[in-house]
Structure 1
Amino acid sequence: MKDLAAQLATTMKQRHWNERYQKLLTQALKDPEVQQFLQDHQLQNNQNAVLAGSAAIYEFVQAKKTLTLATGYQPRLLWVNQAIHVSYEPDAAELRRQQKVVFQQKFKTLAMASDVRQADLDDYARGVNERQASYMAAVRFVIDYAKAPKTFLPGLYLSGPFGVGKTYLLSAIAKELVQQQVEVLLVHFPTLAVQMKNAINDNSVLTKIDQIKAVPILMLDDIGADALSSWVRDEVLGVILQYRLQEKLPTFFSSNFSMKDLEAHLTVNQRGDQEPIKAARIMERIRFLAREVVVSGPDRRFN
C-alpha cells in the first residue's frame, strides 16, 4: 500500500495535481477501511482505478469523520462497473427509524389506544391454559396467511366477556401480520359508527367507507357494544362487509356477543323495531368472513 501511495504521488506530480489535493488523497489512502477495500478488490496496484476513484475515496474518508453529508447514513465504498464509487447506507439507528415508520404505516388504527402496537402474541397466552385455543387459532391464521396471502382465508370472530383479552389478541395478530409486511387496519367500531354519522354533514361517508373496506386485513373491534341505527348497520357495516365478501378479504371481529347473540342484537333497530331479515344478511356476511373463536381466561385488565 505504501508503494501505491508513492506511485500515485509521483503520477499526480507528473500530471500537475494540486499539492494540497495530493496530500489529502495520500492521507485518505492510509485509512484502514480504504486499504481493506482496495485489497478486497485487488486494486492495490491499479493506479488508474484509484486515481479515477480518488474523489470517491476522499469523500468516503471525510464522510466518516463528519457524518454531516447524510445524517443517519454511513458511507460505503463500492466497486461497480470497474470503477470506485461511494454510497450511503442507513446506519443502525436510521434502520430502526425506517422500520418504525413502515410499521406504523402498515399497522393503521382508528380510535384505538396508543399501546395496541405493543401487543405480543406469545405474551397473550403465556401461563393461561384457557387462552390456548384462541392462541392456536391466531397462530394458524398467521402461518396460513403467510403461506398463501392471495388465497381467501376467513378471519376470526373473537367472542367472550369483558376483559379477557379480545382486543389484545386482535392487536397481537395485527402486529404479526404487519411484521410480514401486510397492511392492517384495526378499528374501534362504536367510534367508527359515530364518525360515519358525523360524516353525513360534509358528504364524506363514501370516502371514509372506501378507505376502510379495501384494506387487506380489516379488524372491527367491539362490534355490538352499542345499539346501531338501521343506517349504520345497513349502509355502513353492510356495505363494508359486502365488499369484503365479494373481494374475499380476511376480516376480524371482536364482540362481547356470540355470533348468535349478535344477530339478535342487530335485529332491533334504534327505534325498537324488529328487522330480522336485515340482521340475518349482516350475519351471513360475517359468518363467511370469519370463524367464531371463544376467548376465555382471567380478566387481563387486573392481571
Structure 2
Amino acid sequence: MKSLKQTLQGLMKSQNVTASVGQLMERVLADPDVRAFLQDNQGRISREMVQSGQSKLYEFYHEKQLAKKGETTVAPGYSPQLILNSGQIDVTYVPTQQLLEKERQRHIQRLVRSINMPKFIQNANFDNLYTDDSQNDLRLNAIDAAYQFTEDYSADHFLPGLYLYGSFGVGKTYLLGAIANELAKQKGVATTMLHFPSFAVEMRNSIKKNNTSEKLEAVKKAPVLMLDDIGADAMSKWVRDDVLGIILEYRMQEELPTFFSSNFSMAELEKNHLAIDTQGDHEPLKAQRIMERVKFLSRELPMVGENLRSKG
C-alpha cells in the first residue's frame, strides 16, 4: 500500500506540481476555506485526521484553484466542498450557481412545448415588447391583459385566456410566447403552443399513421393551450368538428385556459371561416357551437398597429 507521501507525490506529479509536499501543504492549510473548515470542526478533527486527510485537503485546494482560473476541473459545473465522512476528511462536489441557473432555464424551456411555432417565441418576454409612445391604447391594453393573466393565474380556479386578433405583424404570436415563458418562469406551468393551420395538416396526416387520438389527447389536456393563427386557412368539416371541436369541448368542461391568435375578430372567424368549410357548405349552427366554446375559454382583445417585423 502506498504511503500518504507517495500518494500526494503521485497526484502532484500528474498535475505538474513542482513544490515539495511540505511546501504545498503549507499553502493548502493557509487557504481561507481550508482554515475555516478546520476551525468550524476543531472539536471533531484531530491532528491525525488532518495528517491522513492531506490528499483530500489538497484535492479541494487544487480543484478550487482550477475553477478560479477558469480551467477544466474534475467535475465541471460543480464546486468542491470539504466534509467529514465517517470520521475522515473528504471532498464532495456540489452544483455551482451557474449550473443551477442553467438547469432552471432548461426546465423553463421544457415547460413550453411548441408545435410548428417560430423560434423567436423561445425567448419572448414582456421586457422586450414594444411599448413606446408610438403604440396605441388597444395594443397596450392587450399587453396589460396578458401580464395580468400571468399574475392572476392559479391552477385552483379557472381564468379565461385571451383571443388576440389584429393584422399581420402586430406582435400577437410574440405576446403569446411571452405569456407562456412567464408562466413557466414564475408559476412552473406547462404550456403547449401550436400553429393551428400546421397542426391541422399534421392531424390529417396522422390518420394514415393511426395516431390521431394520441396527438389529440396531448393537446386537449395541456394545462395552458395556445392556438396560433386560427382562421388562416379554411377548415374541413373534420378539422372543425372532430379536431378543434373536441379540443375546445374538453377544455371547456375541464375549465382549462386557452389562448387564440387570429387575423380575424370572433365575429369574422365565425361567419367567414367556421361557418363555411372547404367544400363550400354553409353550416352556421356548427360554427356557432364552436364559437360558444371559444368565448367561454377566452376574452377577445384587438391588437392593431404598425408591422413590428419591419423594425428588423
Which bracket does the TM-score occupy, shorter chain normalised? 0.7 to 0.9
The 1:266–1:85 alpha-carbon spacing in structure 2 relative to 1, beyond 3 Å, is farther
- 1:31-58 Cα offsets, whole Å, 9 max, x none, are 332112223x242783176568666534
Aligned position for 1:172:
178
1:142–1:173 contact (8 Å) kept in structure 2 = yes
How many Å separate the matches in 2 of 1:300 and 1:284?
Answer: 32
Could you tell me the TM-score, scaled by structure 2's length?
0.81
The 1:50–1:136 alpha-carbon spacing in structure 2 relative to 1, beyond 3 Å, is same
In structure 1, list runs of 5 or more residues that go unmatched.
Answer: 1-15
1:273 positional shift: 0.8
Q: 2:163 aligns with which of 148, 157, 165?
A: 157
How many Å separate the matches in 2 of 1:111 and 1:175?
Answer: 17
How many Å separate the matches in 2 of 1:223 and 1:82?
Answer: 66
- In the alignment, does 2:129 pair up with 1:129? no
Equivalence map 1:1-303=2 (5 Å): 18-20=4-6, 23=21, 26=25, 28-39=28-39, 41-43=40-42, 46-47=45-46, 50=50, 56-65=56-65, 67-78=72-83, 86-127=91-132, 128-130=135-137, 131-145=139-153, 148-180=154-186, 181-264=188-271, 265-303=273-311
State the secondary structure of the residue aligned to 1:182. coil
1:235 positional shift: 1.0
In structure 2, list runs of 5 or more residues that go unmatched.
Answer: 9-20, 67-71
1:117 positional shift: 1.7
State the secondary structure of the residue aligned to 1:179. helix
State the secondary structure of the residue aligned to 1:228. coil
1:129 positional shift: 3.4
2:156 partner amino acid:
K
Q: Which moved more, 1:123-132 or 1:267-276?
A: 123-132
State the secondary structure of the residue aligned to 2:189. coil
The 1:221–1:83 alpha-carbon spacing in structure 2 relative to 1, beyond 3 Å, is farther
1:43–1:50 contact (8 Å) kept in structure 2 = no
2:56–2:91 contact (8 Å) kept in structure 1 = yes
CA RMSD of aligned residues (A): 2.7
- 1:112-160 Cα offsets, whole Å, 9 max, x none, are 1111122221332421233211111111101101xx3321111101011
Of all paired residues, the percent bearing the same amino acid is 45
Aligned position for 1:5:
none
How many Å separate the matches in 1 of 2:106 and 2:297?
Answer: 30
State the secondary structure of the residue aligned to 2:209. coil
The 1:199–1:78 alpha-carbon spacing in structure 2 relative to 1, beyond 3 Å, is same
How many Å separate the matches in 2 of 1:45 and 1:87?
Answer: 18
Aligned residue pair count: 285
1:213 positional shift: 1.5
- 1:265-302 Cα offsets, whole Å, 9 max, x none, are 20111111111222122111111111111112222122
The 1:49–1:219 alpha-carbon spacing in structure 2 relative to 1, beyond 3 Å, is farther
